[in-house]
Amino acid sequence: MAKLHSRKKGSSRSRPPAGAKVPAWSDVSKEELEKAIMKLQESGLPSSRIGLTLRDQYGVPSTKLVLGKSLNGFLKENNALPDVPEDLTNLMRKALHIRKHIKSNAKDVHNKRALQLTENKIRRLVKYYHDSGRLAPDWIYSPETAEILIS
| Average pLDDT score over residue span 86-100 | 97
Quote the pLDDT of residue 2. 56
Integer Cα distance of 104 and 102 in angstroms: 5
Asked if 96 and 143 touch (Cβ cutoff 8 Å), the reply is yes
pLDDT of residue 12 exceeding 90, the answer is no
Which pTM value belongs to this model? Answer: 0.83
Quote the pLDDT of residue 84. 94
Quote the pLDDT of residue 108. 97
Quote the pLDDT of residue 1. 46
How far is CA 48 from each of CA 30, 45, 64, rounded to the nearest angstrom?
Answer: 19, 8, 14
